[in-house]
Amino acid sequence: MSISVSHINKSYKDIRALQDVSFEVKKGEIFGLIGPDGAGKTTLFRILATLLIADSGQASVAGHDVVKDYKTIRNCVGYMPGKFSLYQDLTVEENLEFFATIFKTTIKENYHLIEDIYKQIEPFKTRRAGKLSGGMKQKLALCCALIHKPEVLFLDEPTTGVDPVSRKEFWDMLKRLQQKGITILVSTPYMDEASLCDRIAFIQDGKILEIDSPEAIVKHFTKTIYNLSANNMYKLIESLKTYEHAHSVYPFGEFVHYTDTRDVFDIDELQHYLKNIGLNDITIEIAKPTIEDTFMALAK
Ligand X SMILES: Nc1ncnc2c1ncn2[C@@H]1O[C@H](COP(=O)(O)OP(=O)(O)OP(=O)(O)O)[C@@H](O)[C@H]1O
What's the closest the beta carbon of residue 37 comes to ligand X, in angstroms?
Answer: 3
**Shortest CB 14 distance to ligand X, Å:** 9
Binding mask 11-40 for ligand X (x = CB under 6 A): -x--x-x-----------------x-xxxx
Measure the CA–CA gap between 41 and 70, rounded to whole angstroms.
Answer: 20
41 makes contact with ligand X (CB under 6 A): yes
What CA–CA distances, in Å, run from 249 to 18, 170, 245, 283? 28, 33, 11, 15
Strands (E), 195-269: 199-204, 207-212, 225-229, 246-252, 255-260
Helix 134-146 / helix 111-121 crossing angle, nearest 10 deg: 170
β-bridge pairing 283-287 and 225-229: antiparallel
User: Using only C-alpha atoms, what is the Rg of the chain?
Assistant: 22
Which is nearer to ligand X, 12 or 234 (by Cβ)?
12
* Shortest Å, Cβ 36 to ligand X: 7
Residue 219: count other Cβ atoms within 10 Å of its Cβ. 12
Q: Which is nearer to ligand X, 41 or 148 (CB)?
A: 41
Q: In angstroms, what is the minimal distance from the CB of 20 to ligand X?
A: 15
From the list 10-18, 64-72, 128-136, 263-271, the region that binds ligand X by CB under 6 A is 10-18
Q: Does 42 bind ligand X (CB under 6 A)?
A: yes
Alpha-carbon span 36 to 205, nearest angstrom? 9
* Span 110-169, contacts to ligand X by CB under 6 A: none
CB of 18 to ligand X, least distance (A): 8
The DSSP secondary-structure symbol of 123 reads: G
> Least Å distance between CB 292 and ligand X?
17
188 binds ligand X (CB under 6 A): no
Instruction: Decide if residue 53 touches ligand X (CB under 6 A).
Output: no
Nearer to ligand X, 15 or 267 (CB): 15
DSSP 122: G
Indicate whether 84 belongs to the interface with ligand X (CB under 6 A). Answer: no
**Which DSSP category does 224 fall into?**
P
Binding site for ligand X (CB under 6 A): 12, 15, 17, 35, 37-43
